[in-house]
Structure 1
């Protein structure tokens, strides 16, 4: 990414902070993580990492728009998808968490990882986010794929229809 894209990504993301200047200074000089408020510019749907990474892989198709900002928490083993704010949405599923108005999300700067947080797809400053319907379909498909790939109790190998 170019410096201009990084700069726009930083400005867009920091806008969700109570004080964007303090946020940016904290990214550069502090712990490298800022708590940003969800529900104003974006919501976040967080899922277990296996499900999230498989769904993200399904979203990287030439026929679909480029996926929106996506964050990985390697300590909590979660993937977070940034999508448009929607107070009325009802994201329901095992292990699924929806952060909206009133929730705070720990976020590193778009240009580097911090602690256990890193961007798979950093924000580019355009405001592009994951499309909720497309994300839901990818999560459903990924969940179905994982169910097929789950090992039989006691088995050491994962088998499925396309695996030996």
Structure 2
């Protein structure tokens, strides 16, 4: 399946993965997720064309000129590793609106946790 790639800082991404995995319903809320080689960022595979309208502060979405990457067997990040591989019984890609909500909730959780130190 073709896809774009939303990247976020690892801490926010890990929180978002937890939020998405707790999601309701029988259909998984999260698709494949890749961790970069430095463990600094997570990448969520999303439908192609997402980059054109992606404007979430603190994140980026790699545009693939409308062609989309195909969900690869190997992580699409040099030196990276799958956090949730494509064959882990998860969704094919993450819905961008669901991801946007999870990233926002993750940012609020991190801000609250950091404020209580």
**TM-score in terms of structure 2 length:** 0.75
Select the structure with the greater relative contact order (CA < 8 A; seq sep ≥ 6): 2
Alpha-carbon shift at residue 133 of structure 1 (Å): 1.2
Tell me the residue number matched to 1:72.
35
Q: Which of the numbers 98, 119, 138 marks the counterpart of 2:61?
A: 98
- CA distance in structure 2 between the aligned counterparts of 1:99 and 1:79, rounded to whole angstroms: 13
Between structure 1 and structure 2, the one with the greater Rg is 1
Q: Does 1:51 align with 2:51?
A: no
Give the CA RMSD over aligned residues: 3.1
Q: Does 1:109 align with 2:74?
A: yes
3-state secondary structure, aligned to 1:135: helix
Runs of 4+ that moved beyond 6 A: none
Distance 1:94 1:76, change over 3 A: farther
Matches within 5 A, 1:78-93: 78-86=41-49, 89-93=52-56
- Structure 1 portions without partners, runs of 5+: 1-11, 13-40, 152-157, 160-164
Aligned length: 109
- CA distance in structure 1 between the aligned counterparts of 2:62 and 2:113, rounded to whole angstroms: 29
- Structure 2 portions without partners, runs of 5+: none
